[in-house]
Structure 1
Amino acid sequence: MIGCLFIHGFTGSPWEVEPLMEYIQENTNWTIACPVLPGHEEGGSLKGVSYTEWLDAASKALDELQRHCDTIYLIGFSMGGMIASTLAVNQPIDKLVLLSPAVFYYSPKQLSVELRALMQEMLQGKLKENALYIRYHAKIKHTPISAAMQFRKLVRNYRPHLPDISMPVFIAHGLQDGIVHYKSTQYLYDTVASKDKTALWLDGCNHLICHCENNEWLFKQVHEFLCK
């Protein structure tokens, strides 16, 4: 049996990868799991939460999936990509998918472009319908500095282990990503030891790559990679 573990991003939730999860569920009979990382629960707080708690939660979900499945695929989004990469180094994983992986964090230039677009939507009365607005608003309002530091610790401590990744890897990034610079995907592609690796850059996509207009095409590429 095949198990597919999804890991969401920093300050995020399974909603970030939900469209891809639904696509996989509709086109396979695989077992799907996506834990909510500590502090990311609805109404929860990231204050005082350590990055090791995020790793432990993902590791426990992986252990549970391994009890029922003999083939394991990991799909990590943003910070979840770093967590998935860390698990892949230390666990027997068959394939790894990294979406908007947060090897390098924050692109000020593109973020300013996106925020200007949000301002235009605000003038049109559509701001509250925008997923990016909802995400940025939540970050600004609820994310303590200590949590951001924990995220950076995670990246800093585990980026040196990326060359140890040897299983097949699929990486995708939006060229208009204003949160994680798309150079992260090139860095990963150049750094991992895997001989079977694919990297895609999608024009017209921002950080929330599973919710972009090209997501159906992206999902097909992910599905073909996992099934080949």
Structure 2
Amino acid sequence: MGADPTGIVVGLGLPAEAATEWLDDLTDGFRDECDLVGASVVGGDITRCDLVVIGVTALGDLGGRAPVTRSGARPGDAVAVAGRLGHAAAGLALLDGGLSEPAELIDAHRRPRPPYARGPEAAALGATSMLDVSDGLLQDLGHLAKAGGIGIVLAPENFAVPAPLEEAARLLGADPLEWVLTGGDDHALAATFPEDVRLPSGWTVVGRVTEGEGVQVRGRKLEHGGWDHFRK
């Protein structure tokens, strides 16, 4: 929503026999990720549980700005993305195929690297709507379209497909653009901006907001294209 990260609160449920070494690694992971943005673990709770359950609440400071929600996109706005797209999905496909290369895609699946700084940057630039891409770009842009009562038209030729994705697609006989458009777990950012805003490097314009509804690619309106936890 455009806030600067300040801290996280962690709720942890653990079996009594949980390994100490695993807990040390978990704690180190929270610390290392918080260090990337100058935040820290500021509290939480722990309880005994039959399963390992972890709940994290992230806190941030808007600095007096209004939050950037999903619902503010307007026809004519540019649709832009920041961060990696399709890398985690390609890494998972490689693992499912019994492959270990390209290694950077395997790493991307195992540890996402969200573009944290781009959220506050987008807010300062006047982003009209924004969300993270966790369930696939098409699916998550669909949330922006629904919340704002608008349509989105994507230009596939604007998406850069890096060499590791091309290589993974060759090995698996897949279409790398499908990973880019529908793959989740990269935790990139997608935002809409007034058309006259000049975006800095790190943001790529991939489409436009239009009148209408839903998300279109090459003239096709797509209802699905990502992970939906409750879809039958």
Q: Same fold (TM over 0.5)?
A: no
Larger Rg: 2
Given the two structures, how large is their TM-score scaled by the length of structure 1?
A: 0.30
More strand by share: 2
Given the two structures, how large is their TM-score scaled by the length of structure 2?
A: 0.30
Higher RCO (C-alpha under 8 Å, 6+ residues apart): 2
